């Protein structure tokens, strides 16, 4: 399975296709029907397993379905699944390569516990552990983190089928995001300008509630693509600890970036504004990122796309290759040979 028109050796080529990849590859009908037939009242929840670039789709889907899911959605980024998992839990494991040891270990545990287990992967050992008809296959050749629009489309469709939610029209959302991105320059700082203003600084992405997964994704993308330190924090929790550390932000060159959402409650809005004013007493100005969107899904995906591009612009300024993940590969090699 290949996708024409994408240069898989170029992170920019992969990331720029983000909007067009949304909704382009979906689970086949047999898999959708199978998920749809699972008796909802007999399941306790859905456990999503994955690491790194393959974990993000699950976290973002959980954010999106936070207010409407009628079952708990949990993310496991570890070797083990929680002890409370039993055969009433559905598992969706994502590993782009299909060979990530933590994911394989957690999946083996889930299968031993009798969980009905589905996989999203290009193949690898994951596809040997899970029944073929429970596998949603994705095209090979991407960097896992750049395959997010594909992994996300698969995962959201599977969750929507399982939870009997009407399906989100990701293709239309992709088109809207493409148009919206052409107008970023007119009402907000562009990814390239933001990257310039982050020169020699360490971004701290601050999310809240719905935007937590976006802040986490941004931190990971800046780490992996720009090979730069980056952190993420979540409100309201960070107001109960991190706020006391801001005297160090200026000398440590930490730049807070608040990820704003149209879904923010008035309380959270007030909290972000108050937090900003306290931070700005001790450092230069905080940055707030907000996009224009018609739905929560569009907002979430547009912000992710924007921040993915930011990580590429930072890579350009830092003169690093966003594709290579030398240290991740080195560590995986050490672990697999022992
Ligand atoms: O983006 C990456 O390359 C990593 O974060 C990988 O996604 C991570 O190491 C897990 O590998 P995989 O996605 O193949 O399971």
**Average pLDDT by consecutive 10-residue portion of the chain (338 residues)?**
77 94 96 95 97 96 92 97 98 97 98 98 97 96 95 98 95 97 93 96 96 97 97 97 95 97 95 97 94 96 98 97 94 90
**Is the separation of the CB atoms in 174 and 160 below 8 Å?**
no
Residue 226 has a pLDDT of 97
Q: Look at residue 288 and give its three-state secondary structure.
A: strand
Instruction: Output the six-digit token pair for 124.
Output: 């690898």
How many angstroms does the Cα of residue 263 sit away from the middle of ligand 1?
Answer: 30
Residue 2 has a pLDDT of 59
**Is the separation of the CB atoms in 124 and 99 below 8 Å?**
yes
The CB density around residue 189, as the number of other CB atoms within 10 Å, is 17
Dihedral pair phi/psi, residue 333, rounded to 5°: -65, -45
Instruction: Output the six-digit token pair for 39.
Output: 């008796």
Give the ligand 1 atom nearest the CA of 97.
14
Residues with CB under 6 A from ligand 1: 51-54, 95-97, 100, 103, 143-145, 224, 325, 328
Residue 5 has a pLDDT of 76
Give the ligand 1 atom nearest the CA of 220.
5
How many angstroms does the Cα of residue 5 sit away from the middle of ligand 1?
Answer: 23
Give the whole-angstrom CA distance, residue 104 versus residue 129.
8
Q: Look at residue 131 and give its three-state secondary structure.
A: coil
Give the whole-angstrom CA distance, residue 160 versus residue 166.
7
Residue 3 has a pLDDT of 73
- The pTM of this model reads 0.96
How many angstroms does the Cα of residue 143 sit away from the middle of ligand 1?
Answer: 8
Give the ligand 1 atom nearest the CA of 325.
3
How many angstroms does the Cα of residue 137 sit away from the middle of ligand 1?
Answer: 16
Distances (CA, A) of 9 to 20, 43, 118, 223: 18, 42, 29, 19
CA 184 to chain centre: 21
**CA proximity to 50, closest of 106, 112, 118:** 106
How many angstroms does the Cα of residue 161 sit away from the middle of ligand 1?
Answer: 26
Residue 1 has a pLDDT of 55
How many angstroms does the Cα of residue 96 sit away from the middle of ligand 1?
Answer: 7
Mutate to test the pocket of ligand 1, among 15, 51, 101, 333 (most ligand atoms within 8 A of CB): 51
User: Which residue, judged by its Cα, is nearest atom 7 of ligand 1?
Assistant: 53
């Amino acid at each position: 399975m290949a996708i024409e028109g994408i240069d898989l050796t170029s992170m920019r080529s992969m990331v720029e296709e983000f909007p067009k990849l949304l909704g382009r590859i979906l689970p086949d009908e047999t898999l959708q029907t199978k998920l749809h037939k699972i008796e909802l009242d007999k399941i306790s929840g859905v456990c999503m397993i994955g690491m790194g670039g393959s974990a993000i789709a699950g976290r973002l889907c959980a954010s999106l379905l936070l207010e409407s899911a009628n079952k708990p959605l949990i993310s496991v980024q570890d070797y083990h699944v929680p002890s409370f998992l039993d055969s009433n839990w559905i598992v969706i494991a994502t590993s782009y390569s299909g060979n990530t040891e933590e994911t394989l270990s957690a999946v083996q545990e889930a299968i031993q516990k009798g969980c009905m287990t589905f996989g999203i992967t290009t193949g690898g050992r994951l596809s040997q552990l899970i029944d073929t008809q429970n596998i949603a296959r994705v095209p090979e050749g991407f960097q896992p983190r750049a395959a997010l629009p594909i992994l996300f489309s698969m995962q959201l469709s599977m969750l929507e089928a399982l939870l009997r939610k009407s399906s989100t029209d990701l293709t239309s959302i992709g088109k809207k995001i493409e148009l919206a991105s052409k107008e970023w320059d007119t009402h907000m700082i562009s990814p390239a300008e933001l990257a310039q203003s982050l020169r020699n600084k360490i971004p701290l992405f601050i999310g809240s509630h719905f935007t937590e997964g976006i802040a986490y994704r941004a931190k990971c993308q800046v780490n992996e693509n720009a090979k730069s330190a980056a952190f993420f924090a979540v409100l309201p929790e960070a107001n109960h600890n991190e706020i006391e550390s801001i005297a160090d932000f200026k000398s440590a060159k930490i730049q807070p970036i608040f990820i704003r959402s149209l879904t923010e409650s008035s309380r959270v809005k007030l909290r972000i504004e108050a937090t900003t004013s306290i931070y700005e007493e001790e450092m230069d100005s905080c940055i707030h990122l907000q996009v224009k969107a018609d739905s929560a899904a569009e907002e979430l995906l547009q912000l992710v796309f924007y921040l993915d591009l930011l990580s590429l612009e930072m890579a350009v300024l830092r003169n690093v290759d966003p594709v290579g993940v030398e240290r991740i590969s080195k560590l995986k090699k050490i672990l697999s040979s022992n």
